[in-house]
Structure 1
């Protein structure tokens, strides 16, 4: 059949454009919806309507993808303020807010320092904001705040996950276990704990975080004033 008579082959769709930024955005969307277990290069490729092998031209391993995801979230953490206390409070609160937007982030912060461009920009903003603090105190002070925040948000996220797994919110959990605590405290074996549970103010997560952070910042202030 001559060329003029030969039918043209079916048209093939153009390959979807790719970039590391697009890959990371898709991975974050998967993690936000269904947790880190939902993230794989194959699933990300499916979201982007691309073959998995195409992604390897941009990202070599899942570990690299997780590093890029973490660094993308660091772009949301931009401490600000005047003076060391405002900067550290802003650091703590903005980190907590980022974790509550991206629950999976609580599983990946901590450990070795993050060296991506957004993490370094966050570190630069904090170090610059602590300009009056002695250089030898900068890393210990920031480390103390980071440790407090990481511990606090992991507890909060753990409670949120437990609620989802059990189907009981905090009030339902208290109703379920309240009678047990009443019987246990009635034995007189835990008088100090019973007093705290019965008489102390019951704070919500926001208040607990703020007061704990105030305790830490007050201690840092004492150290810096020496």
Structure 2
């Protein structure tokens, strides 16, 4: 039986109250502060001031805890819209915002079972907003947007972590590595890259995300028009 279906143990207010909601909340706070490596059943139990064995009445493994954490954060992802494009835009933005609030989510998106109540509610809202589009288009369209968003936010979080680790912001990174690139491009071996660096748009993370998402949605629009013609 999946964790979503198993009943919780009877309430025991002493020595300390406990529930799946309290356990997941403590785990999320640990992960928000110090990443997924900071999450263990022992550490969660310590935060809640209970013995680790008490947690096993509410979940069987750390993997179940991770599933519960991902689903809990999906309560923050509430896609809205009355047509396919606005609901997919809403899904993309809400997912990205949730990842920015909870960096660890970038490490788990796409790799966990999407069976919890909040995750299912999110998927149902997306499909409801896409009513009228044939399912042969809906399925790959939602998959394409999810794949784009997961890839984009993972890149953003990876770059954010690398910046913190190096201690260099974007301007400092360019100052440090710019002379190297100038020397490399000066020999003429990478003309296309040199042209991009010198003449291409230099977008920030928000603009990069929006531009890529627009390309994905424009491709979906072409499919939608073709199927309805």
Point out the more displaced range, 131-140 or 86-95: 131-140
Please tell me whether the aligned partners of residues 67 and 112 of structure 2 are also in contact (alpha carbons under 8 angstroms).
no
> Within 1, Cα distance between the matches of 2:97 and 2:112?
21
Q: Which runs of 4+ in 1 moved over 4 A?
A: none
Specify whether residues 113 and 221 from structure 1 end up closer, same or farther in structure 2 by C-alpha distance, changes over 3 A only: farther
Deviations 1:15-37 (A, max 9, x none): 11000000000000000000000
Point out the more displaced range, 176-185 or 129-138: 129-138
Alignment of 1:159-174 (within 5 A): 159-174=159-174
Q: Which residue of 2 aligns with 1:193?
A: 193
Please tell me whether the aligned partners of residues 72 and 118 of structure 2 are also in contact (alpha carbons under 8 angstroms).
yes
1:216 Cα deviation (Å)?
A: 0.6
Unaligned runs of 5+ in 2: 1-12
Are 1:16 and 2:16 matched, yes or no?
yes
Unaligned runs of 5+ in 1: 1-12
Q: Which residue of 2 aligns with 1:101?
A: 101
Query: Aligned residue pairs: how many?
Result: 214
Q: Describe the SS at the equivalent of 2:132.
A: coil
> Within 2, Cα distance between the matches of 1:144 and 1:136?
13
> Within 1, Cα distance between the matches of 2:112 and 2:70?
12
Q: Describe the SS at the equivalent of 1:70.
A: helix
> Within 2, Cα distance between the matches of 1:127 and 1:157?
28
Deviations 1:167-203 (A, max 9, x none): 1111111111000000011001111111111111211
Alignment of 1:60-75 (within 5 A): 60-75=60-75
Q: Which residue of 2 aligns with 1:35?
A: 35
Q: Describe the SS at the equivalent of 2:111.
A: coil
> Within 1, Cα distance between the matches of 2:111 and 2:141?
17
Are 1:80 and 2:80 matched, yes or no?
yes
Deviations 1:114-158 (A, max 9, x none): 111111000000000000110222111100000000000000000
1:112 Cα deviation (Å)?
A: 5.3
Q: Describe the SS at the equivalent of 1:75.
A: helix
TM-score, normalising length from structure 2? 0.91
> Within 1, Cα distance between the matches of 2:224 and 2:83?
12
Q: Which residue of 2 aligns with 1:116?
A: 116
TM-score, normalising length from structure 1? 0.93
Specify whether residues 61 and 112 from structure 1 end up closer, same or farther in structure 2 by C-alpha distance, changes over 3 A only: closer
Please give the root-mean-square deviation of Cα atoms over the aligned residues, in Å. 1.1
> Within 1, Cα distance between the matches of 2:166 and 2:67?
31
Alignment of 1:124-139 (within 5 A): 124-139=124-139
